[in-house]
Every structure is written in C-alpha cells, then in structure tokens.
C-alpha cells in the first residue's frame, strides 16, 4: 500500500471515529493525529485533505497554518469508511486478499521459484486489506491451502506456526499471478481445461478403514476394502505415466514400485502397510518433482486426499 493511500484511509478513519464533546464541533485535524509534524509531513497531509475535500468525502476549512485546519466527514465519506470496514470483516474478501498477497509476495521475491522465501514470522509477509493487516493465522492457513492446490511449495515448518514457514512458487503459481485473475477463477479455468485423459481414483467413505491408524480389519469403503481403493490409485498412476512428462528413469521406477505395491496389497502381510505407504509417498513425490503439466499436480492432489481420508500421513 502506498503512503498516499495509507494517509487517505487514516484521515477518513480518524474523522469517522471522532466523537466531539459538543454537538457540531469541527475538530482540528492535527489534534486527531496526536503527533507533531514537520513541514514536509504537513505538506503531505494538506494535500491528502484537499484531495478528499475535492472528492466530496470531507468538508475542509483551511487556515494559513496547518494546525488550524479543521474537517468533518460528508455522508459520502462516512459511507466509504463503512464499506471499507465491511470488506475488512468479510471472510471471502480476507481469504482472497491473503491468496493474492502470498502469491504476489513470492513472485516479487523469486518469480521462478528457485529459492525458498521467508513467509512467516518477524521477517515474513504482512498482508493489508483496506488498511488493516490480516491475521497471521489466516496467512498460514491460506498458504497451506495454496500448497494443496499446487500453487506454492511448502518448505520448513515449525510447531508454533500454522502453515509453512518458508515457501516458493510453483510453475502453476507463477501462471496464476501473471494471469491477473483471482485464485478461485484461475483454478476453475484450470479444472475446466483438464485434458481428455480420465483417471478415476475413487472416493473413500466411512471413518473406520482397513490400514488406517485407528481401524478395524473388515471396514469397507465405496468399493470394498481399502486395498481395492489403493489398487485403483496405483493403476491410475501407471495409466497416467505416458502423459505426465516424467523422465524415463522415473517413469520406470514408478512402474517397478507399483508392481511391488500391488503384490503387497494382494498378500497384506504385517509389513505391507509400511511398504505400501513408503512407496506411494515416493512415487507421488517423483511425480510432483518432475511432472511437467497440470495433470501431474491434479493426480498428486487427488491421491493425497484419498490417502488422508484413510488416516495416512502424507509427506
């Protein structure tokens, strides 16, 4: 936010919140500021007040010295302050501002996403919405959601912060910020533009699932045992390999791992859960690191949702 815009908002807010001791009293603006101004600062504030007066948002009574300048809000000025405060408290506006603020900040720091950028903490981002700084907890929550959408990568995490401490843009995130549209609109367009390859991964229903962390052996899902859902996921990954843009050696490694996973799903020994989980995580990370198109991001995101739904931690 520019200094001039910040002064504009501050002036209107100060006049809106002023409660005169006597009805009809017009306050001296310098008294509302509550600080001593040098000549340069007085000139800047004088220009701001004249601009607001010219826009019909305040009525300004000027004197030779800045200290004698008095002003009050018009109905139009009062309406602008109330609308700004409404937007500040609107969850959708706050979320949208956080999304764009995070992506814009990472883009300014490193548009190609080659280095990690401090996102949280004292040296992190401060996102303004209509003159108010958004809560850090909201920034963390939205950053995590942007990571899940494939627009940023999360780096380091610390226990006291929700969401990543460091982050960087993905190629998809770079395209989003350069598109000039909202994150929601960009992602909707991406979903509508999905290629004609359909890889059904399936959905999980129920809360007690085979191989989850707190499960019973015979719990069922939308298509039977969880083994069936995992087998469907593995097959979808293998079917997608030709169009994911992976290096040949990575594609071949995923095929080999997939054969091992299907064998473990067939026999389900006591060690199978650990083997399957490790290999699936490894394959998803390969796809995320080397995949060259939106389908790769979509496939990984869908797979992670399925795995979380059965109670597995996903790296």
Indicate the domain borders of the chain. Answer: 3-87, 90-192, 195-315
Query: pLDDT tens track of the chain, all 315 residues?
Result: 678 888 999 999 999 998 887 777 888 898 898 888 889 999 999 999 999 999 999 999 988 888 889 999 999 999 999 999 998 889 999 999 999 999 999 999 998 888 899 888 777 788 888 878 888 889 999 999 998 888 899 888 888 778 888 999 988 888 898 988 888 888 887 776 554 444 444 443 333 323 333 333 233 333 334 567 788 888 888 888 887 778 888 888 888 888 888 888 777 777 778 888 888 888 888 887 776 567 777 778 878 777 777 677 665
Helix, strand, coil share of the chain (percent; to 5): 55, 10, 35
Is residue 230 within 8 Å of residue 309, measured between CB atoms?
no
Q: Comparing 3-87 with 90-192, is the CATH topology the same?
A: yes
**CATH number belonging to the domain at 3-87, selected among 1.10.1200.10, 1.10.760.10, 1.10.10.10, 3.40.250.10:** 1.10.10.10
The two structure tokens encoding residue 197 = 């390859």
Q: What is the CATH number of domain 90-192?
A: 1.10.10
Q: What is the pLDDT of residue 314?
A: 60
Buried b (16+ CB within 10 A) or exposed e, 147-171: bebbbbbbbeeeeebbbbbbbbbbe
Residue 242, C-beta contacts closer than 8 angstroms, at least 6 positions apart: none
Answer whether 0.85 is exceeded by the pTM.
no
């Amino acid at each position: 936010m520019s200094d001039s815009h910040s002064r504009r908002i501050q002036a209107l807010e100060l006049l809106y919140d002023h409660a005169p001791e006597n009805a009809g009293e017009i306050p001296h603006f310098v008294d509302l500021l509550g600080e001593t101004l040098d000549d340069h600062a007085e000139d800047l504030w004088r220009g701001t007040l004249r601009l607001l007066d010219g826009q019909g948002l305040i009525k300004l009574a000027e004197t030779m010295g800045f200290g004698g300048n008095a002003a009050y809000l018009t109905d139009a000025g009062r309406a602008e302050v109330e609308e700004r405060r409404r937007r500040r408290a609107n969850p959708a506006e706050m979320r949208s501002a956080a999304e764009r603020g995070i992506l814009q900040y990472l883009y300014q720091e490193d548009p190609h996403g080659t280095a990690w950028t401090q996102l949280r903490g004292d040296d992190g981002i401060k996102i303004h919405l209509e003159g108010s700084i958004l809560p850090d907890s909201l920034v963390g929550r939205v950053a995590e959601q942007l990571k899940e959408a494939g627009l940023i990568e999360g780096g380091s995490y610390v226990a006291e912060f929700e969401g990543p401490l460091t982050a960087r843009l993905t190629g998809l995130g770079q395209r989003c910020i350069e598109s000039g549209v909202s994150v929601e609109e960009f992602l909707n367009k991406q979903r509508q533009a999905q290629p004609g390859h359909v890889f059904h991964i399936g959905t999980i229903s129920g809360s007690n699932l085979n191989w989850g962390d707190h499960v019973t052996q015979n719990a069922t899902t939308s298509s039977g045992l969880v083994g069936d859902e995992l087998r469907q996921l593995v097959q979808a990954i293998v079917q997608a390999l030709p169009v994911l843009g992976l290096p040949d050696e990575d594609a071949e490694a995923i095929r080999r791992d997939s054969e091992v996973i299907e064998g473990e799903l067939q026999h389900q020994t006591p060690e199978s859960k650990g083997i399957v989980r490790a290999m699936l995580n490894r394959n998803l990370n390969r796809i995320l690191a080397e995949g060259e198109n939106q389908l790769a991001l979509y496939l990984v995101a869908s797979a992670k949702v399925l795995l979380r739904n059965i109670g597995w931690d996903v790296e």
